[in-house]
Structure 1
Amino acid sequence: MVAFAAISTPNPWHQSPNLETPTIHPQSAQFRLPPLPTPSLSLNASASPSPPPLVVVGSANADIYVEIERLPKEGETISAATGQTLAGGKGANQAVCGGRLAYPTYFVGQVGADAHGRLIAEALEGGGVALDRLTTVAGAPTGHAVVMLQPDGQNSIIIVGGANMAGWPESLAAEDVAVVENAGIVLLQREIPDHVNIQVAKAARGSGVPVILDAGGVDAPIPPELLQFIDILSPNESELARLTNMPTESFEQISQAAGKCHEMGVKEVLVKLGAKGSALFTEGEEPMRQPIISAPKVVDTTGAGDTFTAAFAVALVEGKSRKECLEFAAAAASLCVQVKGAIPSMPDRKSVSNLIQMHY
């Protein structure tokens, strides 16, 4: 049970936390970590409150990597050069990114009672993520994905939902709701049931906590009810095209599709454009474009979008401008693609800061 102080606090959306506040450090491998740092007002004017945490509610997968020269044709069998299993899943990726960037981060999600579940828990814990709200589901295996990695770093992925989609209660536990309501910002994706995301987004909105929805995951329309409670929608080009039924081949078309998202109720649309960078579309304002920070060599693009979204969220809750958020996210994504794997490729804050300093 996570305990929270009954005290009125300023809206963390408008706070700029002290970056020197220590990040959360795991104490054991049994998922028992320190209680959530509750934003509070101190009677001692010299004391700084703990920054309200990044809370990621979402998926965790065991990523089964196979390195291939090309994708197989229909009915064809090909050999893989190597194969290995690494921790991943959009939710777990984003949570570890937050932890590696030295920001207090909590993960709310589900794994199975199996070896893959232990792999993910260890990876989250090793990334500095608090696991108080990680649940083990007895009746379903841990979610997993087959990642087919090609020599140029591009990938194709097949996902099996497992515990990410099974066993969620119809109503979230009070402890999960409390973690969300005391967050500084909440990150969601579409690899867990829509009804969970809707409950989380409603709870966050009711407490003035901003919500970013990464559009990656289930290839299905986003429920209008969910869009009502989202502050920032973050799709890539193809996801934006599917969500709006509009082409996204040129920047003008992307802008028009983002405008359709505004009509659907989302005020800000953060579009990941791969090698073309990213763009933030805020309703009523000119779009803000961000080019990529080129990597010396692209090894694996898996997790790059998750890194970008999570890094943007961390910068935003720390009070950075939108331009600074885009630069920070671009630097994090550039470092991510230089390492194989999703969670193993998440960069630390010092590396991101150094790259920004060198580039700008």
Structure 2
Amino acid sequence: MEAPPKPLVVVGSVNADLVLPIERLPKPGETLAAASIETVPGGKGANQAAAAARAGYPTYFVGQFGKDDPNASLLRGALSACGVDLTHAIDVAGPCGTALILLQAGGENSIIIVGGANQAAWNLSDSVRQLIATAGAVLLQREVPESVNVEVAKLAKDAGVPVFLDAGGVEGPIAPELLPCLAVLSPNETELARLTGMPTDSEDQVRAAAEKLMEAGVQSVLVKLGGDGSLLLPGQGKPAIRQKAIRAPEVVDTTGAGDCFTATYAVAVLEGKAAAEALQFASAAASICVTRKGAMPSLPAREEVDALVAAQQ
């Protein structure tokens, strides 16, 4: 019998997303009316765990829910419904993380985050440490304390487990001791510019900035370029791989699309797909994601992604 695949372990944030659809952002001192307000499950960690599980890969989520928050049951239920294993997720005092999402006409969004339980004190249990050490890969983001990411990444690296870090979340610099632990660092071009202090207006500039991160110890850099696709620098001395975006028929909501891309890329790598094939798989998943409202509710099922990939052949 073939051994079951080693799981993907996502350590990170879970938020209740309060979504307000608006025509445009208000100007200073201006009041605008929103058509509605809706609470939907989100948070970069939870989104990525859900995306990986929806893509058919065994996925654990390690995170913190606020036990004093009525949204906690909504968030747990949504993750479980996507197939995420919550055995190692815990409840802590206080509210859950919350994100206020101003969703503009055309799908662009502006987000304000209140950390809540995500930013409370973390204590990695022995069972979580064992889970990390036996994982196929660990996936991190930047909506939990940086010290947590450093601790998890070092545990994983010491066990020979590859670490993926999505650069979305807090805007500060990445801890220098975290960078050499990363098999893959995935920023968008705005995050890449912020992390390196370099311009990212052209593809050559994007490559130069990504190479700076690799000089700091990162093994490979995957830059998300939105509607322009993605660019992977797979390692020192290896040629870059460019993936064009798979165009969506209509962009409804870009919330969660970057999380979907990073998570499904990790799944494809764990399944043994070559880099170009993994990029196409992730691009297909993100293309489906932007055609629907919400972060977690928009994540595609495996058969949808496979069908779109097949249609590109």
Q: After TM superposition, is the score higher than 0.5?
A: yes
Which position in structure 1 is the counterpart of 2:102?
A: 148
Whether 2:171 is the aligned partner of 1:219: answer yes
TM-score of the superposition, structure 1-length normalised?
Answer: 0.85
Whether 2:21 is the aligned partner of 1:67: answer yes
How far off is 1:115 after superposition?
Answer: 1.3
Among residues 137, 141, 157, which one is paired with 2:92 in the alignment?
Answer: 137
Whether 2:190 is the aligned partner of 1:238: answer yes
Whether 2:284 is the aligned partner of 1:334: answer no
Which position in structure 2 is the counterpart of 1:81?
A: 35
How far off is 1:68 after superposition?
Answer: 0.2
> One-letter code of the match for 1:264?
A
Among residues 234, 238, 260, which one is paired with 2:212 in the alignment?
Answer: 260
Which position in structure 2 is the counterpart of 1:303?
A: 256
> One-letter code of the match for 1:86?
V
Structure 2 contact 8–138 (Cα < 8 Å) conserved: yes
Whether 2:118 is the aligned partner of 1:118: answer no
Which position in structure 1 is the counterpart of 2:155?
A: 203
Return structure 1 stretches of 4+ with deviation > 4 angstroms.
none
How far apart, CA to CA, are the structure 2 residues paired with 1:167 and 1:260? 32
Among residues 173, 179, 182, which one is paired with 2:134 in the alignment?
Answer: 182
Q: Residues 271-297 of structure 1, C-alpha deviation per residue, up to 9 Å, x if partnerless?
A: 000010001012212210000101110
> One-letter code of the match for 2:85?
A
> One-letter code of the match for 2:81?
G
Whether 2:17 is the aligned partner of 1:54: answer no
How far apart, CA to CA, are the structure 1 residues paired with 2:130 and 2:231? 33
> One-letter code of the match for 1:147?
I
How far apart, CA to CA, are the structure 1 residues paired with 2:72 and 2:122? 16
How far apart, CA to CA, are the structure 1 residues paired with 2:263 and 2:167? 13
> One-letter code of the match for 2:13?
S
How far apart, CA to CA, are the structure 1 residues paired with 2:35 and 2:266? 36
Q: Residues 199-222 of structure 1, C-alpha deviation per residue, up to 9 Å, x if partnerless?
A: 111111111110000000001000
> One-letter code of the match for 1:344?
P
Q: 3-state SS of the aligned residue for 1:133?
A: coil
How far apart, CA to CA, are the structure 2 residues paired with 1:263 and 1:83? 45
> One-letter code of the match for 1:80?
A
> One-letter code of the match for 1:241?
A
What is the total number of aligned residue pairs between the two structures? 311
How far off is 1:51 after superposition?
Answer: 0.7
> One-letter code of the match for 1:65?
V
Structure 2 contact 180–219 (Cα < 8 Å) conserved: no
Q: Residues 83-108 of structure 1, C-alpha deviation per residue, up to 9 Å, x if partnerless?
A: 10000000000000111111100000
Which position in structure 2 is the counterpart of 1:320?
A: 273
Among residues 96, 106, 112, which one is paired with 1:158 in the alignment?
Answer: 112
How far apart, CA to CA, are the structure 1 residues paired with 2:211 and 2:4? 37
How far apart, CA to CA, are the structure 1 residues paired with 2:23 and 2:72? 30
Whether 2:147 is the aligned partner of 1:192: answer no
Q: CA RMSD in A?
A: 0.7
> One-letter code of the match for 2:198?
M
Q: Residues 115-164 of structure 1, C-alpha deviation per residue, up to 9 Å, x if partnerless?
A: 111111001000000001111002x2100100000110010000110000
TM-score of the superposition, structure 2-length normalised?
Answer: 0.98
How far off is 1:326 after superposition?
Answer: 0.2
How far off is 1:263 after superposition?
Answer: 1.2
How far apart, CA to CA, are the structure 2 residues paired with 1:202 and 1:259? 22
> One-letter code of the match for 2:263?
A
* Percent identity over paired residues: 56
Question: Which stretches in structure 2 are left out of the alignment for 5+ residues?
Answer: none
Which position in structure 2 is the counterpart of 1:358?
A: 311
Question: Which stretches in structure 1 are left out of the alignment for 5+ residues?
Answer: 1-46
How far off is 1:167 after superposition?
Answer: 2.5
Whether 2:245 is the aligned partner of 1:292: answer yes
> One-letter code of the match for 1:76?
E
